[in-house]
């Protein structure tokens, strides 16, 4: 079956521009996560969606970052007024259900964002 897909795979933008990154989770997965991996760093949690519940935005680094999930499926991560420190690989993951014992998160291939 289809895994988690993300688009674009690479994005180069100029400082100050806005970017949108897209994630298509595995069909039927109710939980969706965004992470980012900066150079030499581990995966950093950004935001989490579970069904119709309010998202956990506690990992978003600034108010320039926002995300939405439409219809409980596709998610878009938006970064406004990009800065060079936003350059990273942005990874999306989904899981069947969250809460209780952790279930396996399945990751997409990521979007490599480069801010010039």
Partner 1 sequence: DQQVKQNSPSLSVQEGRISILNCDYTNSMFDYFLWYKKYPAEGPTFLISISSIKDKNEDGRFTVFLNKSAKHLSLHIVPSQPGDSAVYFCAASETSGTYKYIFGTGTRLKVLA
Question: Could you list the residues that contact partner 1 (CB under 8 A)?
Answer: 4, 9, 31, 33, 35, 40-45, 48, 50, 56, 59, 91, 93, 95, 98-102, 104-110
Name the residue nearer to partner 1 (CB basis): 71 or 101. Answer: 101
CB closer to partner 1, 55 vs 80? 55
The alpha-carbon radius of gyration of the chain (Å, integer) is 14
CB of 112 to partner 1, least distance (A): 9
Distance CA 83, CA 62 (A): 11
Pick 50 or 82: Cβ nearer partner 1: 50
Q: Rounded to whole angstroms, how far apart are CA atoms 88 and 82?
A: 12
By CB atoms closer than 10 A (0-12, 13-18, 19+), residue 84 is: exposed
């Amino acid at each position: 079956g289809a895994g988690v897909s993300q688009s674009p795979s690479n994005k180069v933008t100029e400082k100050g521009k806005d970017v949108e990154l897209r994630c298509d989770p595995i069909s039927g997965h109710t939980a969706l996560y965004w992470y980012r991996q900066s150079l030499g760093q581990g995966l950093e949690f950004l935001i989490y969606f579970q069904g119709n519940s309010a998202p956990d935005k506690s990992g978003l680094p600034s108010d320039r970052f926002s995300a939405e999930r439409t219809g409980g499926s596709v998610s878009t991560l938006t970064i406004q007024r990009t800065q060079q420190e936003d350059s990273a690989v942005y990874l999306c993951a989904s899981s069947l259900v969250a809460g209780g014992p952790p279930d396996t998160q399945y990751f997409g291939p990521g979007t490599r964002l480069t801010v010039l």
